[in-house]
Amino acid sequence: MKNSTQIRQTLVFVACFGLAACVTTSQPAPPVEPVIPAFPTPEPPAPIPDAAPRADADGIIRQKVTFGELPGWQTGSTMPAFRAFLGSCAKFARTKNSHPRWRKPCEQAGQLEGVTDEVAQQFFESEFTPFFVSVAETDQGLLTAYYEPELEVQEQQSPEFSEPILARPSDLVTVSLRRLDPGLPDKILVGQVRNGQLETYFSRQEIRQKPGKPLAWGRAIDVFFLQIQGSGRIRFASGKTARAAFAGHNGQKYHSIGKELISRGELQPGKASKAAIENWMQQAGPQGAQELMNTNPRYIFFQEQVITDPNIGPNGTQGVALTAQGSIAIDAAYHPFGMPIWIDSRLPKSPSDWKGEARQFLVIAQDTGGAIKGPLRGDLFYGSGDKAGKLAGIQKHPAKWWTLLPNEMAKLRETGA
């Protein structure tokens, strides 16, 4: 085993010169298994503003509008987002160098009592300025969803409960190049140290051939989808319930097993829902299911956490407990954590409602995901349990976005300061 001095020397070498064998990956939450339904094209939720301002340096066109121009603002939902925003404010208060422009809206939110939808709406109207978001090619984004699954587990392996929920291994190394040197790219390297070199970590198939420390044992299908969601609740036969929280991944590239089944001709395009994939795996049996899962080399590790409040979701990338239909995963390269976002899209009313109904609602950017890329891409947190999972499994609809900037930030933007 290499001593700590050798490992530190290795990491410095990686940061300064780079390693061809390393895996470059975006950190936190793992991607949600894509669902590819054949949706009818909905009517545009809202007209594009007439003006056409130039794009910012990040490629986003942000056009100032009024709250009266937000579709559904008077009747849409703001309460879940208000509760989520309080969580982001608590995080800002604990974080050094938090943007001072968030201080006033956070202070105002903390002073409110007996908050109702009307009060929450008035708060956002008084403290924020909305901006319509688009890019040069389109103003239409994509909204998918994810959830926190609940699954039965056992403390010991059995023929039915055959898949381990593994803790993070001690030899898994995560390196932030920016943390080592502010002049280096903002990249995260994941791997293991072998012979003084940081190299690629084991694939899913290799990990399963010699599993490490299990937190519990579950059904193969359940554990795989737990890894896709990145966090979940595990329920033991004794009645004990805990959270299996995301603790890291092996750095391997994610591959969708839904797309894999479509490419094989096993499922039709537009039919690769979570339920359809589960049904295929059950019919294929343990060996066939494991072979399919191995086509996705990425593997997720977990840590057990105590659940103090069953109504609170897992922590997102911001380090804040997620709020059902009030938190959203975004691409943090374009939107900062804590940012309120007004969305005009469609949400399913039932597990069979693929088309969904037109809905407008406010959410707070509090999470990220490997499959969430671009300024008009969002992944809505639906909550915990089977019902939330069935709705999240068919959520894939066009959406339009308005970001709400704190008033001081909006004024600085207008003056160019």
Closest CA to 278 of 121, 141, 393, 408: 393
Half-sphere exposure of 100 (CA within 13 A, CB side): 1
274-321 pLDDT tens trace: 788 989 998 998 899 999 999 999 999 999 999 988 888 999 999 999
22-53 pLDDT tens trace: 333 334 444 444 333 333 444 444 444 444 56
β pairing state of 300-305 and 241-249: antiparallel
**pLDDT of 14 higher than 50:** no
pLDDT grade, residue 385 (50/70/90)? confident
Cα angle 227, 229, 233; round to 5: 85
Whole-prediction pTM: 0.73
**pLDDT of 272 higher than 50:** yes
First to last CA, the chain: 53
pLDDT grade, residue 210 (50/70/90)? confident
- Percent helix, strand and coil across the chain, each to the nearest 5: 30, 30, 45
CA distance 101 to 98: 9
User: In whole numbers, what is the pLDDT of the chain averaged over residues?
Assistant: 85
Using CA atoms, how far residue 189 sits from 9, 56, 252, 364, in Å, is 15, 29, 11, 28
What structural domains and CATH numbers belong to the chain? 1-27+170-210 (no CATH), 61-146+313-415 (2.40.40.10)
β pairing state of 197-199 and 188-194: antiparallel
64-121 pLDDT tens trace: 999 999 999 999 989 999 999 999 999 999 887 667 889 999 999 999 988 999 999 9
DSSP H helix total and E strand total for the chain: 11, 18
The beta-strand segments (E) located in 178-273 are 188-194, 197-199, 214-218, 232-236, 241-249
* Tally of CB atoms within 10 A around 347: 20
CA distance 389 to 284: 23
pLDDT value, residue 416: 66
Q: What is the percentage of the chain residues whose pLDDT exceeds 70?
A: 86
pLDDT value, residue 99: 73
pLDDT value, residue 308: 86
